[in-house]
Structure 1
Amino acid sequence: MGVRINKRLVDSLKPKGEEFFEWDSELHGFGIRVRPSGAMSYVAKYRVGRGRGAPTRRVTIAPVGKVTPEEARTLAKRVIADAVRGHDTGEERKKAREAPTLSEVADQFLAQHVLAKRKTTTAISYAGVIKRDIKPALGSRKADSISRADVARLHTNMADRPIQANRMLAIMGKLFAWAGGRGLVAEGLNPARGIEKYRENGRERFLTTEELTRLGAALIEAETVGIPYEVDETSPKAKHAPKPENRRVVLGPHAVAAIRLLLFTGARLREILHLQWSQVDFERGIAFLPDTKTGQKRLMLSTAALRVLADLPRVGKFVIVGASAGAERERPRADLQRPWALVARRAGFIERAAEVTPEGKPVADEHGAPVVVERATVRLHDLRHSFASVGAGSGLGLTIVGKLLGHAQPATTARYSHLDADPLRRAADSISDKISAAMEGRATALVIPAFGRAPQ
């Protein structure tokens, strides 16, 4: 028959050699489970469906001690009442336990969608954001439990990196859209939707004629006599350094050629680093790139670019030699960071400024002195911007410039529209010349709108 479960009964229960249950005499299905170890918990037992043949299910309400007997009774009554209304609490809990975490969904998203359908560079970028920003903050949570508030909080915590924060939002949205389509989360669930992105100030740096001259001189110096470098004379290793007149770094022809090709073609960095000799058609002045950011692309090779390629030693299948040149599994060069840092410094593209915190406060060292850092004012990607700016400023038209750059959308080239001044300048000159001629009494014909009247 059982007895009413209360504190006195709970205190009197002792473990036995095997697990047993003590059921409440008033609320059918409410009981206490006592394990051989002595651990006890409140449970609720209910029937799934109607009829004597319907299966029964038992769920744990709470460990004894975490809630009072009366609180456990109230919770059990709710579970049993839900079962009568058709809600299976035990099954819901099982599904919740088996639901994937955000980390698990993200891994499937990368493996089954990004790596399979996106370019390698895109996959690397996605994986970096997920590993660096998303997983540490929310990866252990069940994916279907992530709320907009959770994502908004993460976005706010990345306020010092607005561009990366916005990329995180975009990737999170794509991740949940994909997961919804696969049934991993509820379809339509997108906790990144509705969160306002940070304003991104586009950085478009164009080299001036004087800066191009300095860059050209630095490249010539780098490939001939070498670029001088400084040694910290206070360092214990300074005595082993070469003599001042011998402190120069000579860059190999391929690193210098890569920088020149970026300037002469407007190509993206990976397009030059991954370029193979088999893709270069010297006769027609074209490089056929099978896989770029915007798909297949024909890279136009100017006379200057062809001259660079003609003078370049051929070592392996890649135009720009990497560390594995000539090997059976040859790979393209990874980057140009060190050569560019050396050339940029020599060309005067480095500025010194006080380091500040994300809040804009100056950073001081242990002695209270401001910490000064060096920043490059020109990036490698700015060489592509410079190529585009010269084309737009020469009146070649944004359509032609966009084709040379390999832009898939005209809107991408529109960023250079303010440089395409020649058509506007010619129009302004034509209009003002006619007005000036009329004011000076010189013969000219003014076009009068149909709704206006010519002066009498």
Structure 2
Amino acid sequence: MAAPQPLKLTKRAVDSLHVSSGDTVVWDRDLPGFGVRVYASGRKVWCVQVRGPSGKPRRRTLGRFGEVTPEKARRDAVIAIDRIKRGLSPDPPLEAPEPTVLDLAERYMEFHVRVNCKPRTVASFESLVRVHIVPGLGHIRLSELERSHISGLHHRLRMTPFQANLVVKVLSGMFRLAEAWEMIPPGRDLCRSVRPYREKPRERFLSSDEYGRLGDALDKAEMDGSVYLPAIHAIRLLLLTGCRKDEIRTLKWDDIDRSSGMMHLRDGKTGLRHVPLAPAVLAVLNEIPRIDGNPWVIAGNGPEDHLGTGSLDYHWQKIRSLAKLEKVRLHDLRHSYASRALALGEGLPMIGELLGHRKVETTA
């Protein structure tokens, strides 16, 4: 993205600044080195950046927009820039504002979640932070945060217990890292005493009749062309393998080893695992044409793309409607696979291995 053009940093100008993701600095038109850093969360911080006598850039924050006026920020910037250019520390000392839950949330997302988590987890956490955590707690200083704030937010989300519990889990992860970053004193995880809500089981298993209707719907959609063919192939593979949706969407032809009779899933939720190529699975794979230059088994519309998750969900709704299946998610095909395997005499450890579960309790 091109750098923003310098502006006269008045209150009206800074009020109008927004970014859709990450952060960026908008520099002042009249005072070189004076700017405001704008975050996607809406937070804006005055700053200076100039080179000292050594030629090395030095940076300093001057406080938050809204707490420090443009006039004061500009006066402080003139002093700081002058002293930095003379090789001195900015004077007077500029104390960093006391961190808030918003500060912690931004740091947690930038330095932990976006670095260590998969894209879908990043998107989920960003949504929780943006929709629930920042509006409910973002303005509170970490030193003033109490258990009642956490339990109050949890209570306000009681009508969606899964969401409520997940918000508390994310907050708990934030506090653990806040300790490591010395933003809060040790042992200040305020989530420990929040009792999670009972979550309704979300498992749904297909009956034999529903399996039949689903198979008929897939055949009909393939014949009349009413559903995107790669989506039909993906659904059949989900039915026959018990794999996760993203494991099938991102399956590459190189992951299929016909000589050993295995699919090697290198980006599974629990790491590398191997899924047997049953005859029915091979039959589906044999029907899928390979597209020159496209490495994906389930190809998308682009010449080098795989099918998007939104597109697969859309076509699943069409198939589900054709099969007259009520309240069945794609993930329920995975549950149904495990249920049928258990009914056929497979033990929980074997089923867990097929599904990529590290713990038997996850399969049970």
Question: Does the TM-score normalized on the shorter chain lie above 0.5?
Answer: yes
2:261 equivalent in structure 1: 285
Q: Does 2:296 align with 1:318?
A: yes
2:281 equivalent in structure 1: 305
Contact 2:298 2:306 (C-alpha < 8 Å) held by counterparts: no
2:359 equivalent in structure 1: 409
Deviation at 1:332, TM superposition (A): 4.9
2:108 equivalent in structure 1: 109
User: Residue 236 of structure 2 aligns to which amino acid in structure 1?
Assistant: R
2:127 equivalent in structure 1: 128
Deviation at 1:293, TM superposition (A): 0.9
Contact 1:323 1:333 (C-alpha < 8 Å) held by counterparts: no
Q: Aligned partners of 2:362 and 2:313: how far apart in 1?
A: 26
Deviation at 1:286, TM superposition (A): 1.1
% identical aligned pairs: 36
Deviation at 1:225, TM superposition (A): 2.0
Q: Aligned partners of 2:290 and 2:129: how far apart in 1?
A: 39
Q: 1:294 aligns with which of 270, 278, 291?
A: 270
Q: Aligned partners of 1:303 and 1:349: how far apart in 2?
A: 27
Q: Aligned partners of 2:224 and 2:266: how far apart in 1?
A: 38
Q: 1:395 aligns with which of 315, 329, 345?
A: 345
Q: Aligned partners of 1:144 and 1:301: how far apart in 2?
A: 56
2:334 equivalent in structure 1: 384
Structure 1 residue ranges without an equivalent (≥5): 1-93, 227-249, 351-376, 415-456
User: Matched residue of 1:292: which SS?
Assistant: coil
Contact 2:228 2:315 (C-alpha < 8 Å) held by counterparts: no
User: Matched residue of 1:159: which SS?
Assistant: coil
Q: For the structure 1 residues 323 and 101, does the alpha-carbon distance in structure 2 shift closer, same or farther, using more than 3 Å as the test?
A: farther
2:308 equivalent in structure 1: 333
Could you list the runs of 4 or more consecutive aligned residues of structure 1 that deviate by over 3 angstroms after TM superposition? none
User: Residue 350 of structure 2 aligns to which amino acid in structure 1?
Assistant: I
Q: Aligned partners of 1:295 and 1:103: how far apart in 2?
A: 32
User: Matched residue of 2:153: which SS?
Assistant: helix
Q: Does 2:255 align with 1:255?
A: no
User: Matched residue of 1:98: which SS?
Assistant: coil
Length, aligned pairs only: 268
Q: Aligned partners of 2:269 and 2:146: how far apart in 1?
A: 33
Please give the residue correspondences for 1:422-437 in structure 2 after superposition, counting only pairs within 5 Å. Answer: none
With normalisation by structure 1, the TM-score equals 0.57
Q: Aligned partners of 1:111 and 1:324: how far apart in 2?
A: 30
Q: For the structure 1 residues 100 and 332, does the alpha-carbon distance in structure 2 shift closer, same or farther, using more than 3 Å as the test?
A: farther
2:172 equivalent in structure 1: 173
Please give the residue correspondences for 1:58-207 in structure 2 after superposition, counting only pairs within 5 Å. Answer: 98-207=97-206
Structure 2 residue ranges without an equivalent (≥5): 1-93
User: Matched residue of 1:295: which SS?
Assistant: coil
Contact 1:294 1:408 (C-alpha < 8 Å) held by counterparts: yes
Deviation at 1:331, TM superposition (A): 5.3
User: Matched residue of 1:288: which SS?
Assistant: strand
User: Residue 277 of structure 1 aligns to which amino acid in structure 2?
Assistant: W
Please give the residue correspondences for 1:235-250 in structure 2 after superposition, counting only pairs within 5 Å. Answer: 250=226
